[in-house]
Structure 1
Amino acid sequence: MEDKNTIKNKIKDYCIITLGVLLVVVGVYFFKFPNNFSIGGVTGIAIILSNLFNNSISSGSIVLVLNIILLIFAYVFIGKSFGNKTVYGSLLLSISLKLLEIIIPLEAPLTNEPMLELFFAVILPAVGAAILFNIGSSTGGTDVLAMLLKKYTNIDIGRALLITDFFLTIATFFVFDLTTGFLSILGLLFKSTLVDVVIENLNLNKYFTIICRNPKPICTFITNKLNRSATVFDAKGAFTDQDKKIILTVMSRAQAVQLRTFIKETDPEAFLLITNTSEIIGRGFRGLS
Structure 2
Amino acid sequence: MVLSGKKLWMSARDYVMIVVAIFIFGFGFSAFILPEKVVIGGVTGVGTIAYLLTGKTYMIGLTQYAINLVLLGIAYFVVGKQFVVKTIFGATVISLVVTVMPPLFDGPLVPGQPFMNVCIGGIFTGIALGLVFVHNGSTGGTDIVAAIVAKRTNVTIGRTMLFVDFAIISSSFLLTHEIAKVLYGFVVLIITSYMVDLVINTNRQAVQFLI
| TM-score after normalising by structure 1 | 0.64
* Cα offset, 1:129, TM superposition: 0.9
If asked which structure has higher relative contact order (CA below 8 Å, sep 6+), I would say 2
Q: Which runs of 5+ in 2 are unaligned?
A: none
Matched AA of 2:157: I
Say if 1:126 and 1:58 are closer, same or farther in 2 by CA, change over 3 A.
Answer: same
Say if 1:96 and 1:192 are closer, same or farther in 2 by CA, change over 3 A.
Answer: closer
Matched AA of 1:95: L
Residue equivalent to 1:62: 63
How far apart, CA to CA, are the structure 1 residues paired with 2:16 and 2:60? Answer: 26
* Cα offset, 1:59, TM superposition: 1.9
Residue equivalent to 1:268: none
Matched residues, percent identical?
28
Determine if contact 2:32/2:117 at 8 Å carries over to the other structure.
yes
* Cα offset, 1:157, TM superposition: 3.0
**What SS does structure 2 have at the residue aligned with 1:164?**
helix
Determine if contact 1:14/1:85 at 8 Å carries over to the other structure.
no
Structure with higher strand content: 1
How far apart, CA to CA, are the structure 2 residues paired with 1:205 and 1:46? Answer: 39
Pairwise CA RMSD? 2.3
Say if 1:65 and 1:30 are closer, same or farther in 2 by CA, change over 3 A.
Answer: farther
Larger Rg over CA atoms:
1
Determine if contact 1:33/1:59 at 8 Å carries over to the other structure.
no
| TM-score after normalising by structure 2 | 0.85
Q: Which runs of 5+ in 1 are unaligned?
A: 210-246, 248-289
**What SS does structure 2 have at the residue aligned with 1:206?**
coil
**What SS does structure 1 have at the residue aligned with 2:209?**
strand
Please list the CA deviations of residues 152-187 of structure 1 after superposition, one character each: whole Å capped at 9, or x if unmatched: 233333222212212222233332213222222222
How far apart, CA to CA, are the structure 1 residues paired with 2:142 and 2:97? Answer: 18
How far apart, CA to CA, are the structure 2 residues paired with 1:169 and 1:150? Answer: 22
Please list the CA deviations of residues 192-240 of structure 1 after superposition, one character each: whole Å capped at 9, or x if unmatched: 322112211223222233xxxxxxxxxxxxxxxxxxxxxxxxxxxxxxx
* Cα offset, 1:136, TM superposition: 2.0
How far apart, CA to CA, are the structure 2 residues paired with 1:60 and 1:34? Answer: 16
How far apart, CA to CA, are the structure 2 residues paired with 1:66 and 1:180? Answer: 24
Please list the CA deviations of residues 43-93 of structure 1 after superposition, one character each: whole Å capped at 9, or x if unmatched: 112222332x34357222211222222223223433322153322111110
Please list the CA deviations of residues 228-270 of structure 1 after superposition, one character each: whole Å capped at 9, or x if unmatched: xxxxxxxxxxxxxxxxxxx2xxxxxxxxxxxxxxxxxxxxxxx
Matched AA of 1:108: G
**What is the total number of aligned residue pairs between the two structures?**
207
Question: Do structure 1's residue 122 and structure 2's residue 122 form an aligned pair?
Answer: yes
Residue equivalent to 2:182: 181
